[in-house]
A and B are shown apart, each in its own frame.
Chain A
Amino acid sequence: MVNPGSEACIVGIGQTEFSRESGRSEQQLCAEAILAACADAGLSPKDIDGALTFDLDNSDEVDLMRNLGTPEMKYSMRTPQGGAGSVTTLVHAKKAVESGLCDVMVIWRAMNERSQYRFGQPHTMVNPKGMSSTFMEWCMPYGAQTPAAWEALSATPYLERYGVTSEDLGRISVLFRQNAATNPAAWFYGKPITLEDHQKSRWIVPPHLKLLDCCQESDGGVAIIVTRRDRARDLRQVPARLLGAEYAFLFNHEIISDFYEGDLAELANSVRVKERLTAAAGISPAQTNVAMIYDNFTPQVLRQLEAFGFCGPGEGKHYVADGHMNLDGKTPLSPNGGLIGEAYIHGMNNITEGVRQLRGTAANQVKAVETVFMCSGVAGAIIGR
C-alpha cells in the first residue's frame, strides 16, 4: 500500500486527429500527442523524466528528447504484446512513479498504421528473432496470416459452444458505431450502422468474422502523463487516480495466437487479471461506471466481458442485447466508439477516453462517473476520482 501522496494519477492526456493518412511522420505524431498531453496537464516537456511506449512503436526516448527539449530521463522502457499490452503501460507507469523510478512519466503510441503499413494485411515476411520458434512459423504455411485470422481461430470454440450468432456480434459493432457517430473525434463520426449493414458487410474470415466485426486501421498518436498525487495537486486537471493496474500472463499461452493451452472458450489470463485487480482496487470491474474494453474484433468484447466478471460464461451476448452496455445502461461500453468506431491507436485511445469520462469532459459523457474500468486482455486498470 503506497501512502496517499505517492499514489499514481493520470494528469494529462493528448491526441492528434485520427485519420487514414496523417501526412506527417510517426515521430511528429508522437511529439504532437505528447505536447497536447503536457498542455492538458499544465506541464512542460522539460518536466518529463520517464518514457514508455510499445516495443512495436517506431519512435523512442531519443526522438522524444531531441524534439521536445526534455533535458534528462531517469527511466525509459517498452511494453511487449501489441494492443494486448496497451493497458499494461499503466501497470508500469503506476509502479514507476510510485516507487520513485521517475516523477513524470509519459506514455505514447503513435503510428501511421493505415498510410505507411497495414496491420490487417497478410504478414508475408517472417524474420524470427534469434532464429527461435515464433507463432508466425506455425500459421504462415497454412494461410493464417492476419490478425483477423488468428483471432477467429482462437474465438471459434467460444462462439460455437455458446451459440453466438453473427447478429449477436453485429449488435456489438452497432453499439460502437452508434457511440462513434456522436463523437466528433471519431473516424466514424456521423456514420452509425444498422444490424443490417453489419450483416451485409463482406466476409473477412468465415464462418464468424465480417468486415464490421473488425476494428479500423488508423493513423494517429495518443499520449498519457502519469505522476504522483502530491505533484498532481498543483496541476491543471482533476487527477485520475490509478486505483489498480494489473497484468497477468500464464504458462503456455500466446497473445493473439493463443491456441495451445486450456479451454479456448475462456480467457485464463483475463480471469487472473480480474482477481488481482479487484483485490488491488477494492472494487471489481463490474462495479465501475464505464467499461473501456479492447475491441480489436467483436468476439474479444464478449470473451472479456465474461472473463472480467460482468456476466457469466456464455451470457455476454444477452448482456449486450439487454442494453447493459448502452450509454444509458448499467456499465456503458466505450462511449468514444472504441477501436471499431473511434480509431485504432493500438488501444491507447480507449485509455484517454476513460480519463475524459472520469473528468466529465467526454463527447458522450456518462452521468456521475466515479470509476472507470479499462482492459486489454492481459491487463486491466481501474481509475477513480
Chain B
Amino acid sequence: MTRVSSANPHRPDPVLTVDTAFFWAAADEGRFVAQQCGGCATLWHPPRPVCPKCLSLEKHAHDLSGRGVVMSWIMPVHPPAHGFDTPPIVALVEVEEGLRFVTSIEGIDPRAMKNGLAVEVAFARTKGGHQVPIFVPVEDE
C-alpha cells in the first residue's frame, strides 16, 4: 500500500511536457518510474527525447524499486516556498538504480535529517489533484 501525503494541500502541480508527461502520469497512478531506452536499456532521469548513449528514439517507463539514499538536503525557509505552508525539506535522492531525483522528504524531524539517510518512495498530493513522488525514511524492520 503506497502512502499518499496531503501535508501540503497547496503543493504546486507538476509541469507536464511532451517528453516528461509519462513520469507524472505514472506518479498519478502511484508508480515511481524512470525512462528506459528501448535500444540499450539504459535508465535516464530527467527524461529526454533521445538516448544520449545509443541515440535510440525508442523508450518506455521502467518501474524503479523506490529505495534510495539522501545525497543532499536543504530547507528553503525564506522567502517561503510557493505552495508550502511550512518550509519543505527538499532533497536530492540517489535511488538504487543509480539515478538522482530532486524530491521532498516527509515523515522526519528536520533536526534528524542527514545525508546518507535511507529513504523509500511515497507520494504527495498537489494543489490540482495530481500526486508526485516524495520520499520518507525507511521504517526500521
In the complex, the answer to whether A137 meets B74 with C-beta atoms within 8 Å is no
With CB as the reference atom, state the residue of chain B lying closest to A138: B102
Query: What are the interface flags for A141-173 relative to B under an 8 Å C-beta threshold, 1 for contact and 0 otherwise?
Result: 111111011001110110010000000000000
Nearest CB in chain A: distance from B89 CB, A: 8
In the bound assembly, the distance between CA atoms of A160 and B115 in angstroms comes to 9
Q: A193: CB under 8 A from chain B?
A: no
Q: Which residues of B contact A206 (CB under 8 A)?
A: 74-75, 77, 110
CB distance from A215 to the nearest CB of B (A): 15
CA distance in complex: A121, B19 (Å): 28
**B102 close to A205 (CB less than 8 A):** no
Which residue of B19, B76, B100, B115 contacts A259 across the interface (Cβ within 8 Å)? B100
* Total chain B interface residues with beta-carbon distance under 8 A: 44
Instruction: Annotate A189-218 by CB proximity to B: 1 below 8 A, 0 otherwise.
Output: 000000000000011111111010000000
Of B17, B74, B80, which is within 8 A of A131 by CB? B17
Residues A203 and B102 in contact in the complex (CB < 8 Å), given A124-B82, A133-B19, A259-B92: no
- Given A121-B79, A122-B79, A157-B115, are A140 and B12 neighbors across the interface (CB < 8 Å)? yes
Rounded to whole angstroms, the CA-CA distance of A110 and B141 in the bound complex is: 58
The reply to whether A143 and B104 form a contact with Cβ atoms under 8 Å apart is yes
Contact of A153 with B77 in the complex, beta carbons under 8 Å: no
- A259 pairs with B81, CB closer than 8 A: no
Sample of 15 A–B contacts (CB below 8 Å): A122-B80, A126-B15, A132-B17, A139-B102, A140-B14, A141-B11, A142-B102, A143-B90, A152-B76, A153-B74, A153-B102, A206-B75, A207-B75, A211-B78, A259-B72
List residues of B whose CB falls within 8 A of some A CB.
11-15, 17-20, 45-49, 52, 71-84, 87-88, 90-92, 100-104, 110, 115, 126, 132, 134
